[in-house]
Amino acid sequence: MLYSDLYIDYIHLSCLIILLTKSLLIREPDGWYAHGWPICGSSGICRNESRRIRAIVMLRKAPENHCRKMNPFSAALELMEQITTNTWDRDFRLRVMDLTDRLIAEVPVYELFCDISEDAVECLGGFFK
């Protein structure tokens, strides 16, 4: 089973999946939003919808399921690796770094260490209760 299967098989039961690949993140006056777009990857999941981001979860393969909040430095490194940016435009890169810092300050970032099972999803759900 792949991590994307974890989303498809279990997580969709408790939340809406907009896109399994990269979403467009935008800071609105009332918070951060993930915007989908009508381009599907291999999962076939893509919704041209927007939803407020309440948390970001980075998945890690592990023999036991547990979740923890990431420290801001580690979260910034992880998120910067996932962001598509114009590497040739220094001012743009600096703006992306500033926005990433703001995102981390306003939205909690967690790591879910999991064995790709329904129990992993329940572990994450329990962490947010």
pLDDT tens figures, 98-108:
999 999 999 99
pTM for this predicted structure: 0.79
Per-residue pLDDT tens for 4-59? 555 556 655 555 565 556 678 899 999 999 887 766 666 666 667 788 888 888 88
| Local structure of residue 31 (DSSP, 8 states) | E
Q: Which residues have CB under 8 Å from 25's CB, separation 6+?
A: 32, 33, 34, 35, 53, 103
The maximal CA–CA distance of the chain, rounded, in angstroms, is: 44
Q: Which residues pair with 27 in a beta bridge?
A: 32
List, in order, residues 6 or more apart from 74 with CB less than 8 Å away: none
